[in-house]
Amino acid sequence: MKREEINEKYKWDLSDLYEDDAAWEKEFIQVKELAENFKGLKGTLTKSSDDLLNAIRLQEQISRMLMNVVTYSRLKLDENTKNATYQGLVARSESLMTEIGEMMSFATPEILSIEFSEMLKLLNHDELKLYEKHFENMFRAKPHILTEEVESLLAQTEEMGAAPSNTYGMLLNADMTFEDAIDSEGKAHKLTNGSYVPMLMGNDRILRKDAFNKYYKVYEAHNNTIASLMQAEVKKNIFYSKVRKHPSAREAALFENNIPVSVPDKLIQAVNDNLETFYKYMKLRKRVLGVEELHLYDIYTPIIANVDFEIEYDEAREMVTEALGVLGTEYQDVIKSAFEKSWIDVFETEGKRSGAYSWGTYDSKPYVLLNHKNNLDSMFTLAHELGHSMHSYLTRENQPYVYGNYSIFVAEVASTTNEALLNDYLLKNIKEEDKKKYILNHYLEQFRGTIFRQTMFAEFERDIHKHVETGGALTAEFMNNHYLELNKKYFGPDVVIDDAIKYEWSRIPHMYYNFYVYQYATGFSAAISLASQILSEGKPALDRYLGFLSSGSKDYPINILREAGADMETEHPVSNALKVFKTVVDELDALL
């Protein structure tokens, strides 16, 4: 379907950012001029409180405008990744980021050239007090900040460093094409990155198998190219970690948010220690599907057969809105506004970026990109992305610009809490027993996809970086074989590990997000805990949770999450989530 065929009410409205491309062009020029002005402040930043305040204000103005420029170009390109105009705007905005980063690179080394005690004296000013936490965090990083000359050089490498991810994105979204998948009646179905998983969720096993094989056939054809991009991405991460004097790429990635390495390590260990329960779920799936061999193309399809659970988008939005009423009328009213004021781009169209996300700036709506299908999974995706958007909205409503973003570590908590609350709402309100079984199965699938699957990705990501850091060569063969062995370990004895799955790592865009994936699993675990507290405790837990959503980055993420009621430095949130998984497996097993 072409974009112009979609009703306007199902498209996002980007006018919060710019009315048109001409307005974008005007600000593109302005922000560069402001950066030139900032460059002229070199050598004055710490002379007095007033000089520091003026520099901060100009820096924030540049940052806000630059993020608007970058975000608009990217959102417009994501509407149709084949659009040459917006490919050009994205390339220009990324070059501008690099150029401005270079012009402003003197600032951090100049500030860090003084002692923190001197900085505290400068901050003893009415309009500067709110920046104390910001500068405390900056000085925490002082051992990893380099000379002005080296920082300038590193700023110049940013565009080059983004090349593996950008090239992979273009290959994935614009250049890859797939053969049609054929169902059991000989009917052809258009296979795309967006339609692949919905096909695996279908009841037609012939279609599932054909989609699986034809999908990975294309990734196999591009295996060496994608392996080369992944190798470049890993080496880039290691390069930056070494230059900034971190022990490893993973520790460098975790340092920004002050996350101990023990957190992802505990996650991987806890999941590995509980794989027997996951094996039980796979055995249950094999029994209920009635197959002699359970293949990986049988993993997504619901094990509750012949349940009509088609949910059109307008129905999904009403159910999600109602389910989130437990978070209070103010929260619910903003959700309604999201639908009415065009936050959301709903349907898959030709060339549109695959997947789903929430993204915006401090000055814009927190936009949501979807590729909605009329199924339960898409309804949960809607709730998930609205969780991100509400987190962004409440943060920006309650925090100044300097703390107006939240860290990656907590990014998946709000989204997954929404999913848990939607799950609870459906189980309480749907009367048909088969649909309840279906929802229980869907809940187990959330655990499979978010805790077990993302932890497997995290283990793979950890291992390939370690392999290179210890002198290994990151070849396509190594990654394929290692990923295949991880699948065998995670899925257990009752699943046939189809050889084509060894290419699956190459279809995961998050592998280019620098140790992001483990946070889906930790975030899911925290969300299960927080949702349970909201449902059982009521207002006290809700107040803590809304406080969490409104906190932005005013404190380190571990501390913010602990105040909300989930202490991720302990094993309790992950182990408790895995206990819930075991309970749901046993419950569904008993019903079937």
CA distances from 426 to 6, 285, 420, 584 (A): 29, 22, 10, 15
Q: What is the pTM of this model?
A: 0.81
Cα 105 → chain centroid: 28
> Could you give phi then psi for residue 167, rounded to 5 degrees?
-65, -45
Helix (H) or strand (E) holding 527: helix 518-537
Tokens representing residue 62 in the block: 């540049």
| Joined tokens for residue 561 | 């999450």
For residue 357, the cross-strand partners are 369
Measured CA distances, 79 to 84, 210, 272, 474 (Å): 12, 29, 40, 34
Q: Which of 83, 72, 82 is nearest to 24 (CA)?
A: 72
SS3 category, 357: strand
pLDDT at 238: 97
Specify whether domain 13-161 bears CATH 1.20.140.70: yes
Domain parsing of the chain, residue ranges = 13-161
Burial tier of 234 (Cβ tally within 10 Å: 0-12, 13-18, 19+): buried
State both tokens at 164.
């593996």
β-bridge partners, 189: 181
DSSP string, 516-582: -THHHHHHHHHHHHHHHHHHHH-HHHHHHHHHHHT-TTSS-HHHHHHHHT--TTSSHHHHHHHHHHH
Backbone angles phi, psi at 368, to 5 degrees: -125, 125
Q: What is the DSSP letter of 448?
A: I
* Residue type for position 124: N
First to last CA, the chain: 40
- DSSP assignment letter at 485: H
Mean pLDDT (the chain, rounded):
94
Q: What pLDDT was estimated at residue 570?
A: 84
As a whole number of angstroms, the distance between CA 404 and CA 394 comes to 9
What is the distance between the alpha carbons of residues 250 and 239, in angstroms, rounded to a whole number? 12
Q: Which residues of the chain have pLDDT under 50?
A: none
Q: Give the whole-angstrom CA distance, residue 420 versus residue 129.
A: 39
Q: How far apart are CA 291 and CA 481, in angstroms?
A: 27
List residues with catalytic annotation: 385
